[in-house]
A and B are shown apart, each in its own frame.
Chain A
Amino acid sequence: DAKTTQPPSMDCAEGRAANLPCNHSTISGNEYVYWYRQIHSQGPQYIIHGLKNNETNEMASLIITEDRKSSTLILPHATLRDTAVYYCIVRANTGTASKLTFGTGTRLQVTL
Chain B
Amino acid sequence: DTAVSQTPKYLVTQMGNDKSIKCEQNLGHDTMYWYKQDSKKFLKIMFSYNNKELIINETVPNRFSPKSPDKAHLNLHINSLELGDSAVYFCASSQVFSGNTIYFGEGSWLTVV
- Taking Cβ atoms with an 8 Å cutoff, the residues of A that contact B are 34, 38, 41-46, 49, 85, 87, 93, 95-102, 104
Per CB-CB distance, the 7 closest pairs between chain A and chain B, nearest first, are A43-B104, A102-B43, A96-B50, A97-B48, A98-B100, A44-B104, A43-B106
Number of A-B contacts (CB under 8 A): 55
Residues of chain A within 8 A of B43, CB atoms compared:
38, 44, 87, 102
Q: Are the CB atoms of A97 and B31 closer together than 8 Å? A: yes
- Name which residue of chain B comes closest to A94, CB basis: B100
Q: Are the CB atoms of A45 and B104 closer together than 8 Å? A: yes
Q: Are the CB atoms of A98 and B107 closer together than 8 Å? A: no
**Given the complex of chains A and B, what is the CA–CA distance between A102 and B40 in angstroms?**
13
With A97-B48, A100-B102 as contacts: A44 and B90 at CB distance below 8 Å: yes
With A99-B45, A102-B43 as contacts: A93 and B100 at CB distance below 8 Å: yes
Q: Are the CB atoms of A97 and B42 closer together than 8 Å? A: no
Residues of chain A within 8 A of B102, CB atoms compared:
46, 98, 100
